[in-house]
């Protein structure tokens, strides 16, 4: 049994009348309905001529029917290609041109309904471990977006590992408010629930009031760091309301140490931070039992080998393991560049591993600043800025500088009501950092640009401040 659909379905509860989705209006969708929906979609795809390996694209709002399409595509042996619902027509044109899907679903409800005309597919189409299950386009802040090819074996291995290390059981209820066009909401979260036969409290999107209501029924929450900061911004988010929760997990972007601390202060619970990417799903995780250390993304998952490229203590993380993708869709040269000659995937994330085995990430290699010939790691400066009085958050970037090549710029969000002074802040940094690392300019903003997964878009900041040192 290698088709991911069958592996997930083996985790569905024996009593299929149990809920798979608990919806905001109080209704539920059972595992029986989910299974039947997937079988109808699969039947419809197969009878429409979709063959194993054909791509099926979906660009639609989050819904139970969209999940039925996802599972139906797997069951039919086809390849699931999710697209961010915010993509523009021009972006979609690129993906469709690149991946050449056989079917493009834009309305999951309508597709699910028309699938009722077909005979359900009762027997899952056989697939091998290395057959393609999904094509995930990377967010691609530089250059063309690339389709990461994930196989049935990749996804099954990661799902099983997470299900085990995070201690999922049929008694869990997962609070799911993530988008399902990205690996976090699509694979990490849903696969843990399916393998446990557990229900998900299903929210179309993040809304703090709905989250707080949903928590009452849940045992585990998965979110991006912005979910946690927004929850902390709501006074209704209290120790009492979270006391019964077994686990809070964060990932997709770095969790600020201040958020971790504030969360522990408020709830008495320590957020479990993990690290992953489209090309390998989850790579490292803090432990369920044992110390969860703020600022560290924890240990490599069982079966994942990790090493640091280069000869320094800090360098680009390289990985090998059962969940590591096989390459980028129809980009053999790009693929070859991102694997070492001995088969390690070069993640593009810079970090180090301490003697205890814990991994610490200091940013993306492409965000590295080279000022006056010296390497400057933005995270080092951000950590210092974030400690300064009145600073809520910071993002450090390099922009063209006539003398230094790149000049270090700090983009800072001040706490409300704080009057911050650029010269004073630069002077404080100079007291703690070598001159070449200290920001040459500090700009104050109300908000940092983020994508839907909560990642700060440093490329947009670099564009915005490109002329700061222009002469």
For ligand AMP, the binding residues (CB under 6 A) are 138-139, 183, 251-254, 273, 275-278, 297, 347, 349, 361, 364, 453
* In the complex, least distance from residue 267 CB atom to ligand AMP, rounded to whole angstroms: 19
* In the complex, least distance from residue 316 CB atom to ligand AMP, rounded to whole angstroms: 11
Q: CB within 8 A of 401, min separation 6: which ones?
A: 371, 407, 440, 469
Ranges of H-type helices in 243-346:
257-267, 332-337
Query: Which lies closer to ligand AMP via its Cβ, residue 147 or residue 322?
Result: 147
Tokens of 187: 């694979």
Query: Which lies closer to ligand AMP via its Cβ, residue 150 or residue 425?
Result: 150
In 3-state terms, the chain is what percent helix, strand and coil (to 5)?
30, 25, 40
d(CA 129, CA 155): 9
| Straight-line distance from the first to the last Cα atom of the chain, in angstroms, rounded to the nearest whole number | 64
d(CA 151, CA 384): 41
Query: Which lies closer to ligand AMP via its Cβ, residue 273 or residue 393?
Result: 273
Query: Which lies closer to ligand AMP via its Cβ, residue 153 or residue 223?
Result: 223
* In the complex, least distance from residue 273 CB atom to ligand AMP, rounded to whole angstroms: 5
* In the complex, least distance from residue 48 CB atom to ligand AMP, rounded to whole angstroms: 31
Residue that has been written with the tokens 């080092």 in this structure = 380
* In the complex, least distance from residue 378 CB atom to ligand AMP, rounded to whole angstroms: 12
* In the complex, least distance from residue 16 CB atom to ligand AMP, rounded to whole angstroms: 32
d(CA 401, CA 101): 45
Q: 338 in helix, strand or coil? A: coil
Query: Which lies closer to ligand AMP via its Cβ, residue 22 or residue 249?
Result: 249
Query: Which lies closer to ligand AMP via its Cβ, residue 65 or residue 273?
Result: 273
Count other C-beta atoms under 10 Å from residue 82's C-beta.
25
Query: Which lies closer to ligand AMP via its Cβ, residue 346 or residue 426?
Result: 346
Question: In the beta sheet, which residues pair with residue 372?
Answer: none
d(CA 228, CA 262): 10
Count other C-beta atoms under 10 Å from residue 15's C-beta.
10
* In the complex, least distance from residue 282 CB atom to ligand AMP, rounded to whole angstroms: 9
């Amino acid at each position: 049994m290698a088709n991911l659909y069958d592996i997930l379905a083996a985790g569905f509860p024996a009593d299929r009348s149990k809920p798979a989705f608990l919806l905001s209006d109080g209704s539920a969708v059972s595992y029986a309905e989910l299974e039947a929906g997937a079988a109808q979609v699969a039947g419809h795809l197969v009878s429409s001529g979709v063959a194993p390996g054909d791509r099926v694209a979906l660009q639609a709002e989050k819904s139970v029917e969209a999940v039925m399409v996802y599972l139906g595509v797997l069951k039919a042996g086809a390849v699931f290609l999710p697209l961010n619902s915010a993509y523009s027509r021009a972006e979609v044109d690129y993906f469709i041109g690149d991946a050449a899907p056989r079917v493009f679903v834009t309305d999951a409800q309508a597709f699910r309904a028309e699938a009722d005309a077909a005979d359900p597919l009762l027997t899952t189409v056989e697939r091998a471990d290395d057959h393609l299950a999904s094509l995930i386009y990377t967010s691609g802040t530089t250059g063309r977006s690339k389709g990461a090819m994930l196989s049935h074996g990749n996804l099954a291995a990661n799902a099983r590992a997470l299900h085990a290390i995070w201690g999922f059981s049929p008694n869990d209820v997962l609070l799911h408010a993530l988008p399902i066009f990205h690996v976090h909401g699509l694979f990490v979260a849903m696969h843990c629930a399916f393998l446990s036969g557990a229900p998900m409290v299903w929210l179309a999107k993040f809304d703090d009031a709905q989250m707080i209501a949903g928590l009452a029924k849940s045992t585990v929450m998965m979110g991006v760091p912005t979910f946690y900061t927004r929850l902390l911004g709501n006074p209704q988010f209290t120790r009492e309301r979270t006391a019964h929760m077994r686990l809070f997990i964060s990932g997709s972007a770095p969790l600020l140490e201040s958020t971790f601390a504030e969360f522990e202060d408020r709830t008495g619970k320590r957020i479990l931070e993990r690290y992953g990417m489209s090309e390998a799903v989850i790579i490292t995780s803090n432990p369920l039992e044992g110390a969860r250390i703020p600022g560290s993304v924890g240990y490599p998952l069982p079966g994942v080998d990790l090493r640091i490229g280069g000869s320094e203590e800090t360098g680009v993380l390289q990985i090998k393991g059962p969940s590591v993708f096989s390459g980028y869709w129809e980009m053999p040269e790009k693929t070859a560049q991102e694997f070492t000659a001995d088969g390690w995937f070069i993640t593009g994330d810079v970090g180090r591993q301490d003697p205890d085995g814990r991994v610490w990430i200091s940013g993306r290699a492409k965000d590295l600043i080279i000022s006056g010939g010296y390497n400057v790691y933005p995270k080092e400066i951000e950590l210092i800025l974030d400690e300064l009085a009145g600073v809520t958050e910071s993002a450090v970037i390099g922009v063209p500088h006539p003398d230094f090549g790149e000049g270090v710029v700090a983009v800072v969000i001040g706490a409300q009501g704080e009057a911050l002074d650029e010269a004073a802040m630069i002077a404080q940094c100079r007291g703690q950092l070598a001159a070449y690392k200290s920001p040459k300019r500090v700009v104050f903003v109300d908000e940092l640009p983020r994508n839907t997964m909560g990642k700060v878009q440093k490329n947009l900041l670099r564009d915005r401040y490109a002329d700061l040192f222009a002469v």
